[in-house]
Amino acid sequence: MDEELLKKRLFTERPSFHGRTSAIRNWKLADDVLHWLDKNVRRNQRTLETGCGYSTIIFALKGARHTVISPIFEEHQRIRQWCEANGIDMSNLGFKLARSEELLPALDPEPLDVVVIDGWHAFPAPFLDWFFTAKRLVVNGCVIVDDTQLKSVRTLRDFLETEQGRWALVARFKRTDIFRKISRDPFVGEWYTQPYCAKPRLRILMRTKFVAVVKLFPPLYRACKLVRNRMLGNDRELK
């Protein structure tokens, strides 16, 4: 069947793949993110996703050399069955029945062109998925961070957004962000060279210096302390 017809069938039928039991759910990527994949993924690109779903089928339709990492056999089976029923070539799909945080460090470090982080969302799993794939991602390769409405994922998104010399925001959707890797090594430097980590320290430093200066002028210091205590509703000292 024609690729366009298969994509239309996928979006029309909207099959559910997720869950272990009869309570099957549909936790797919949003349609606009799937359309982005359809537009940007190329044949024979090396791709990887943690989690699985409609994105797995899009990667298969585009002819990518795709690795799927998910610990739930039933989800793999449902996706395979849907692909088989619709004549979709799965020869380039590699299903890995495992937890990503355990498997990723042991995989062959083949370069990657696209990575989708959409597996286990509990902290620190999204960070581990990113950490173990970031170096493998080629320069100008893209990482898709899904479910940014969750704090664990949103923190990863916020970190990448501040890394402007290493990552560039390509697209932002309602609960998904896509970043392009623009530096060969995403782990250069120490924590204080990372804006996300350094900014709180700079705020503390500035606040400390401000208080030190204000204390040189006792009336001003007392006035500032009074205002602060009234705003906070307590008697804590201005430190």
**What's the Rg (C-alpha) of the chain?**
23
Is residue 126 in some structural domain? yes
Look up the CATH number of the domain holding residue 143: 3.40.50.150
pLDDT attached to residue 208: 58
Instruction: Compute the distance between CA of residue 29 and CA of residue 38 in angstroms, rounded to an integer.
Output: 12
Q: 104 with 220, same domain?
A: no
Q: 49 with 78, same domain?
A: yes
Residue 46, C-beta contacts closer than 8 angstroms, at least 6 positions apart: 64, 65, 110, 111, 112, 113
Domain count along the chain: 2
pLDDT attached to residue 131: 95
Helix (H) or strand (E) holding 49: strand 46-50
Q: How many CB atoms lie within 10 A of CB 106?
A: 8
pLDDT attached to residue 216: 72
The amino acid at residue 103 is L
Q: 37 with 137, same domain?
A: yes
State the Cα torsion 156-158-162-166 to the nearest 10°: 30
Q: 43 with 71, same domain?
A: yes
Q: 181 with 226, same domain?
A: no
Instruction: Compute the distance between CA of residue 100 and CA of residue 228 in angstroms, rounded to an integer.
Output: 48
pLDDT attached to residue 225: 67
Q: 46 with 117, same domain?
A: yes
Tokens of 58: 């899009």
- Walk along the chain (239 residues) and give the pLDDT tens digit of each residue: 678 889 888 888 888 888 787 777 777 888 899 999 999 999 999 999 999 999 999 999 999 999 999 999 999 999 999 999 999 999 999 999 999 999 999 998 999 999 999 898 899 999 999 999 999 999 999 999 999 999 999 999 999 998 888 999 999 999 999 999 999 888 777 777 778 887 655 444 445 556 666 677 777 667 766 765 554 444 444 44
**Which domain, by its residues, includes 213?**
193-232
Q: 136 with 45, same domain?
A: yes
Residue 203, C-beta contacts closer than 8 angstroms, at least 6 positions apart: none
